[in-house]
Amino acid sequence: MGLFSDLLSKAGDVKLNDLAKDLNKAVKDLGKAVNEAAGKAGIDLKEVTEKAKAAEAERASKEGTLEVHSAAEEDGPSGFSWGPTMPAEENQYNYGGNYLQYFDHVFADDFPGYTFERQPGYGGNTTVYTFTDGGRVVLVVELLSRKSSPVKLRQSCRQQGIPYLRFYYDYDGWWNTRAYIDERVKNALGC
């Protein structure tokens, strides 16, 4: 208990109950934000969750196991590409390279009709992919650290009428599954 008691003794006036309440509120707020973002993106979380459960059940039955884990039932909000348990589907964490190699791979394989260019974004914690079709910019995708602000590029794209997407690459429990990326990019491109 040495480390824990040291932490408590150094906590001073911080009340653990207040801290727990603040943490609980933050988690609920994040869940609400995820639901709102999914709604704005035209994603039906219930439908996606059911599809994921069905796919997991099919995979499990093929492997000879019948247990289907639903992170949403155990640990709070979960869905297509987020939740406390990493999905079996290809994602940025189980891919055999770093997150940039993963996004390069998904974009190149799943959107071969478009040309894309990757370049460093604003502030050093971002990467910007510019998709073109016949020399015309058709989509801007920004990969951001949770420490970054998406405001500048997003506003610029809005002003120019260019579709804009962002993916965060360093949020715990945010997996960026291939299907999630594909669906969002297809929606933005109008595919």
Tens of pLDDT, residue by residue over 84-109, are 888 889 999 999 999 999 999 999 99
Confidence of residue 79 (pLDDT cuts 50, 70, 90): low
Instruction: Give pLDDT, residue 171.
Output: 85
Q: Is the pTM of this model over 0.85?
A: no
Q: Which residues contact 104 (CB under 8 A, 6 or more apart)?
A: 118
pLDDT at 1 over 60: no
Strand pairing partners for 140? 130, 164
| Mean pLDDT, the chain, integer | 75
Q: Which ranges in the chain are annotated with CATH 3.40.1350?
A: 90-191
Instruction: Give pLDDT, residue 123.
Output: 75
Which CATH number describes the domain made up of 90-191? Answer: 3.40.1350
Q: Which residues contact 82 (CB under 8 A, 6 or more apart)?
A: 34, 173, 174, 175
Instruction: Give pLDDT, residue 36.
Output: 67
Q: In what order do the strands lie in the sheet with 164-168?
A: 115-120, 126-133, 136-144, 164-168
Strand pairing partners for 128? 119, 142
Instruction: Give pLDDT, residue 44.
Output: 64
